[in-house]
Structure formats: structure tokens, C-alpha cells
């Protein structure tokens, strides 16, 4: 097997960021990609103006790019925040206000995966209280995702870069996935398996893939160290992606890496251009 057996999409919130948001879908298309994903693009606006949503929808459509993954509102990302849904008070309220906005936008562009970042631990707040709030908000988000025919993704990050984030291992994220599915009965909560974050945590990637590929709804990749393109670090992506395929994973492989010093368009030499278009 090889890269030709996989479906790749490019993350427009970490690549092509030298361009304004509305120009990134066309740039991705020019580089050969027909599928893209996004963090919530309006970091200060969980409920942006309809005109902004319409403009993004038009940019995606005009470029011929399919949005295959979208984050719910997650605070300042990139930045100090790692999600909003477990933060009592204003941030949790902002997440809740965003749920239907994000779900409806996803429905309008045919996006079938919505990622809900858990949020950091807050000093002076009981972690159990944060977890109870998180479960309540994730249940609401899962129901909204189901309403539009989408899955809800729950992601493990890495402890060195996100020391206050509680889900910093595959088992910890999968435990939340299982709790959400148990609470809703919908079965549409899935694990976002990010090989970079799990590698940074020192996890055995073969073991994680074998154990959790059946619960994975989306995969993201970046090399380690450096969070650059495949080939800039020490991970063997041919081996890892083949193992995912053999374990039954048929979904998207999101390219969520830093382009380095070169323009983003030059950050894809590892992937032959004919393999970039969605299959």
C-alpha cells in the first residue's frame, strides 16, 4: 500500500494562513486539493454575521473544495485556548451559542464532521464540575451534529504544548467519546486520532491505531518533532497510514501541519499532485 490508498484534505487554519480566509480554498485547489477542513474561523465570534458565513460558503463552492471537517467555537485558536465547552461561565455560553450555527453551516456545505475541543482546566474550579459541564455540552453538540447527519469529534492533544488540557492520551479522549455515546444513544461521537499529538505524548502509535481505529472518525497528521510536513521529522507515515487502512479506517487524513518558512503551496512535495484530489 501507499499514499494512493488514502483520502487527504488540507487544514486551512494552519496552512495557507498567509492568505485571507476567503482566498485559502482557491489556493488549496490550485495546489491540487479538493477537500479542506477548518478550525472555527471567527475566534471572537461564535455567532458571526450571516454575510460572513455566506461569503465562506461561496469561497468554498467557487474553489470547488468540499469542507470535510469544522471545529465548533474553541476560543482563541491558535493562541492560549484549547476549547470552550468545559469552561464555566462566558466561554461555555459562547460554545452553546455556536452549536447550532456551526451545525447549520456544516449542513449548508455538506460537511459531515464537527470537532469539539474540550477546553483547559481552570484554576480554582473542581475538575469534576468541568467534566460534568463538558458532558452536558458535548451531548447537546452530538444531538446537533446528528440533526445534520454529522459526527461529533473529540480530540486528544499533547501535554507538552497543552499542559492544562485534560485529554492528553488516546484512552482519555476515547473515554469521553464513550460517555457521550452512552448519554445520547446516538453513537455519532467519534475519536479524532491526531498522530502528531499522540506521538508528542510518547504513545505507541501502532498500539493506538490497533486499539482505536474502529472509534476514529477523522485522522490528522504532522511530523514529529516540529509539526511540519511528512518527511521533516521521524514518523513513518507510509507505515502508519497503511496500518490505519489495515485496521479498517477509511476516512479522511487531514494535513494539519506547519508549512515551515516556505509558502504553503510548497509544503506538499511529499504527496504527488494526482493524490491530493479527493477520491
**Residues labelled catalytic:** 155, 256
CA distances, 24 to each of 15, 55, 64, 213, 243 (Å): 9, 12, 12, 30, 31
Residue 6: phi, psi to the nearest 5?
A: -125, 160
Residue 55: phi, psi to the nearest 5?
A: -65, -40
Q: In terms of C-beta density within 10 A (0-12 exposed, 13-18 middle, 19 or more buried), how is residue 44 classed? A: exposed
Query: For residue 273, what is the DSSP state?
Result: G
Q: At what angle do helices 170-184 and 205-212 cross, to 10 degrees?
A: 10
CA–CA dist 207, 198 (Å, integer): 11
CB-based contact 253:36 (threshold 8 Å):
no
173-181: which pairs have CB atoms within 8 A and are 24 or more residues apart?
Answer: 174/212, 174/215, 176/118, 176/134, 176/135, 176/138, 177/215, 179/135, 180/135, 180/138, 180/139, 180/142, 180/152, 180/154, 181/142
Residue 66: phi, psi to the nearest 5?
A: -95, 125
CA–CA dist 137, 135 (Å, integer): 5
Amino acid at each position: 500500500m501507499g499514499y494512493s490508498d488514502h483520502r487527504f484534505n488540507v487544514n486551512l487554519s494552519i496552512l495557507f494562513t498567509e492568505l485571507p480566509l476567503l482566498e485559502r480554498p482557491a489556493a488549496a485547489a490550485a495546489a491540487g486539493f479538493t477537500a479542506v477542513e477548518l478550525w472555527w474561523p471567527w475566534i471572537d465570534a461564535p455567532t458571526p454575521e450571516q454575510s460572513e458565513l455566506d461569503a465562506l460558503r461561496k469561497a468554498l463552492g467557487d474553489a470547488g473544495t468540499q469542507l470535510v471537517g469544522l471545529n465548533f467555537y474553541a476560543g482563541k485558536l491558535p493562541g492560549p485556548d484549547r476549547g470552550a465547552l468545559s469552561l464555566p461561565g462566558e466561554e461555555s455560553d459562547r460554545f452553546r451559542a455556536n452549536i447550532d450555527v456551526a451545525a447549520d453551516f456544516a449542513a449548508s456545505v455538506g460537511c459531515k464532521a464537527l470537532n469539539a475541543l474540550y477546553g483547559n482546566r481552570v484554576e480554582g474550579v473542581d475538575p469534576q464540575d468541568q467534566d460534568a459541564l463538558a458532558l452536558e455540552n458535548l451531548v447537546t453538540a452530538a444531538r446537533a451534529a446528528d440533526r445534520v447527519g454529522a459526527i461529533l469529534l473529540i480530540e486528544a492533544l499533547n501535554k507538552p504544548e497543552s499542559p492544562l488540557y485534560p485529554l492528553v492520551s488516546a484512552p482519555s479522549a476515547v473515554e469521553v467519546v464513550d460517555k457521550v455515546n452512552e448519554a445520547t444513544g446516538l453513537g455519532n461521537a467519534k475519536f479524532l486520532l491526531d498522530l502528531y499529538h499522540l506521538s508528542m505524548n510518547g504513545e505507541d502509535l501502532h498500539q493506538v491505531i490497533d486499539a482505536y481505529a474502529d472509534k476514529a472518525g477523522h485522522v490528522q497528521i504532522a511530523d514529529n518533532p516540529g509539526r511540519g510536513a511528512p518527511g521533516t521529522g521521524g514518523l513513518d507515515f507510509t507505515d502508519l497510514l497503511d496500518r490505519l487502512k489495515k485496521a479498517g479506517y477509511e476516512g479522511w487524513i487531514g494535513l494539519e501541519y506547519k508549512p515551515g518558512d516556505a509558502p504553503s503551496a510548497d509544503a506538499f512535495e511529499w504527496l504527488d499532485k494526482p493524490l491530493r484530489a479527493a477520491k
